[in-house]
Amino acid sequence: MDSQYGPLPVFELHSGFWINLHHTLYGQARQSRDGRGSPSGTGATTHRTPSEQIAWDAAVSYYAANYQDKDLLFNTELILLKNQLGDFEQCDELSGAKKKTCDAGLPPKLTRILDAAAPVYRAHEWPEHDRANRRWIAGVSPLVRVKGVELSQRLAEIYQTQWPKERIRVDVSAYANYAGAYTTLDPLRVLISSTDPRNQSDSALEVLFHEASNGIAEPVQLAINRECRQRDKAIPRDLWHALVFYTTGEVIKPIVNAENASADGGQYMPYAFRERLYQRGWDEYLQLLEHFWQPYLDGKTTFDDAIAHIVSAL
């Protein structure tokens, strides 16, 4: 699905059954490992029949044994699995037993596990998960429709690159990961939690464009790395990521403020400030970004000069 109003520019937004099942099982396996019960957004239910519970427990146990210690963002196996499940979201099963084109090519054991858990998930958690996903998509879609092209062009210009010609696939899931969203590359795909409190209301637009920016901001990383090598400095951990958070927030802020002005809304506080990311070891980065990167965003200096000044001041 894109939205109830038709295709959007820049992004294509999906509420896919298999990706949501996959992340729900992964989340429950992780939370069981940590002794915290069901993860936020997975909507665990106590109304399963005994046979349903057996199938569900087997699936969670399989995920616990095979995936719970692997990172959704960095583990190649999980990235490929996520992408495959997204590609087969229109299928009712993954073995190809009913329809040959629905053979997802997954390991046989995993195929059996998912096909057995699917009816349980479809009967219990999925209806509310899908509603939450569609609410999130409906909430963010109007601004994407009106401002999406403008925002994508502005961010690409800032990062000295091109925005992808094809619309970026965004999978919306009740559960994502500890961060509430993540982006994988080759192909560039974004996954965002519809239930994470950090991703709601005006923040939805910023999270969406921040995640997409993670896929196009390589010129920033390369420029920082190049300057550090030239100056014989260690490459600072997470500087480029702090820069992307800062940039997306500053670009989104005036658009959200203008949107809220007619409704007497308050001033928008960008994600990194609201979630106090700069207080978690990025305080020096914030000072550098405000002092050297903001003038670049304001058109008062060049990309190369801004990066050079930031690295020089480290």
Tens of pLDDT, residue by residue over 251-262, are: 999 999 988 776
Q: Does the pLDDT value for residue 310 go beyond 60? A: yes
Q: Which residue type sits at 245?
A: F
Q: Does the pLDDT value for residue 245 go beyond 60? A: yes
Distance CA 60, CA 68 (A): 10
DSSP string, 93-157: -SBSSS-GGGB----HHHHHHHHHHHHHHHHTHHHHHHHHHHHHHHHHHHHHHHHHHHHHHHHHH
3-state secondary structure of 262: coil
Q: Does the pLDDT value for residue 183 go beyond 90? A: yes
Tell me what the mean pLDDT of segment 64-80 comes to: 95
Q: Which residues pair with 168 in a beta bridge?
A: 11
Tell me what the mean pLDDT of segment 125-154 comes to: 96
Structure tokens belonging to residue 308 = 């050079």
**pTM given for the model:** 0.91
Q: Give the model confidence (pLDDT) of 184-229 as tens digits.
A: 999 999 999 999 999 999 899 999 999 999 999 999 999 999 999 9
Could you give the angle at which helices 108-123 and 50-66 cross, rounded to 10 degrees? Answer: 130
Q: Give the model confidence (pLDDT) of 3-19 as tens digits.
A: 444 578 999 999 999 99
Tell me what the mean pLDDT of segment 106-126 comes to: 96
